[in-house]
Structure 1
């Protein structure tokens, strides 16, 4: 899409599209940015209502790019226990961790 827009503009217009490789001005954190932003929101909400994320269990509905990174970062950043994940083809629940 960026190539086509650049052709129409008669010059390279790198800022015209998101999801670019870093070599063309894309963001290094673009793969997990949406999940990371969602988790920051959850962190702030949990703090305000007194929920310990370290003691929390997490179920992720939708295990594509965002869901995968949300599960990974919830564990890595906040110590959450990921107990279930699902996508359009099925789900898994980890009874050992529940």
Structure 2
């Protein structure tokens, strides 16, 4: 399964090591009004974006369906979800307590 990450400054990277997901999350420490999130996108076009506030957004970037979110998600939980997405386990991610929309 293929996936890629989007870094805080907007550059995308394929073949990003699963072992480096902690460093991807840590980029959020430099988030500002223009650069707000980091994400992992699976080849199925499902994307999981994380924000410094603890907001996590789950959406299909192809535009199918509505986005969902959770708030106050820990770093550890975000990395766990990214790992699942990298493996293509979208149905398992869907079982989380998502709330409709993009959140605040």
Between structure 1 and structure 2, the one with the greater Rg is 1
TM (normalized to structure 2)? Answer: 0.24
- Structure having the higher helix fraction is 1
- Structure having the higher strand fraction is 2
TM (normalized to structure 1)? Answer: 0.24
